[in-house]
Amino acid sequence: MNRTPGILLSGQHYLEGQLLFKAELELPAGEWTCLLGRSGVGKSTILRLILGLETGGRFEGSITATDGVPLDRRIGYMAQSDLLLPWLTVLENICIGARLRGTAPDLERAQVLLDRVGLADRAGAKPAALSGGMRQRAALARTLMEDQPVVFLDEPFSALDAGTRADMQELAVEVLAGRTVLLVTHDPAEATRLADQIIVLSAAGAAPWPVPPSPPLRSLSDPETLSCQTRLLDHLRGVEA
């Protein structure tokens, strides 16, 4: 893994001539930033902008890494859907990045990562034979296989049942430690539990939200965490999209 950079984004984004958002935000190096906001406010757009993906709009501003090196090919990406290829085995899916670049995958490392996400004995299975939680763990292993210093998570746990989601959150925090993480989520509980920094995006801009003083992964039964989560939910219900 290269040295971990932070990321600065500053500017405004227009969709069909209309201002979608005007924001300034910083993703501190090696920390988890959780991005919340109403649907359609542009959370995923921010993520896509930094990833360099097509957004269907126009961005005016700057996106820079704190180490001054271009962000190209330094960001791992995990989406809500696991995007495992049904015709490949779990192990082959983990290695898809290398195959897509036309290079030979490091199978040994893939096996180690599968072990790390608890799928060592499912390496030869097809995704159709896995549960939703296992599929997301495979997707996480695929993200780790890319070994990028920055990882973007676009609601990757939102389709999982509550228990599996909590397990996945813990696993993600453990295996992504030391990387700069941006998690887009709808869930105040998830953000409160995982974030070093919470940012609420609204038409008015990107505003930081105070997180409890204890370090992530926070216990949800902790009064401070509970109160933060409740206030955050109230705030989200109050702000305009």
Partner 1 sequence: MRSFDIVLAVGIGLALWQGLVILTDAPHFILPSPLRVAQAMWHSRVIIAENAFVTASEVALGLLFGSLLGVATAIQLALSRTAERIMLPILVFTQAVPVFALAPVLTLWFGYGMGSKIVMAVLIIYFPVTSAFHDGLTRIDQNYRDLAQSMGAKKFQFLRQIQIPNALPSLGTGLKLAAVYAPIGAVIGEWVGASKGLGYLMLLANGRAKIDLMFASLIVLACLTVLLHIAVGLLASRLSRYAGGEVSRTR
Residue ranges in contact with partner 1 by CB under 8 A: 48, 51-53, 73, 75-77, 79, 81, 83, 85-89, 96-97, 99-102, 126-128, 146
Q: How far is CA 215 from CA 32, 33, 194, in A?
A: 11, 13, 9
Q: Choose between 97 and 216: whose C-beta lies nearer to partner 1.
A: 97
DSSP states of 18-61: EEEEEEEEEE-TT-EEEEE--TTSSHHHHHHHHHT---SSEEEE
Structure tokens at 116: 């790390």
CB of 173 to partner 1, least distance (A): 21
The three-state secondary structure class of 207 is: strand
Q: Choose between 5 and 212: whose C-beta lies nearer to partner 1.
A: 5
Q: How many CB atoms lie within 10 A of CB 179?
A: 21
Give the CA-trace dihedral at 182, 186, 188, 193, to 10 degrees: -40
CB of 48 to partner 1, least distance (A): 8
Q: Choose between 99 and 109: whose C-beta lies nearer to partner 1.
A: 99
C-alpha radius of gyration, the chain, whole number: 18
CB of 45 to partner 1, least distance (A): 13
Q: Choose between 52 and 208: whose C-beta lies nearer to partner 1.
A: 52
CB of 144 to partner 1, least distance (A): 13
CB of 98 to partner 1, least distance (A): 9
Q: Choose between 128 and 162: whose C-beta lies nearer to partner 1.
A: 128
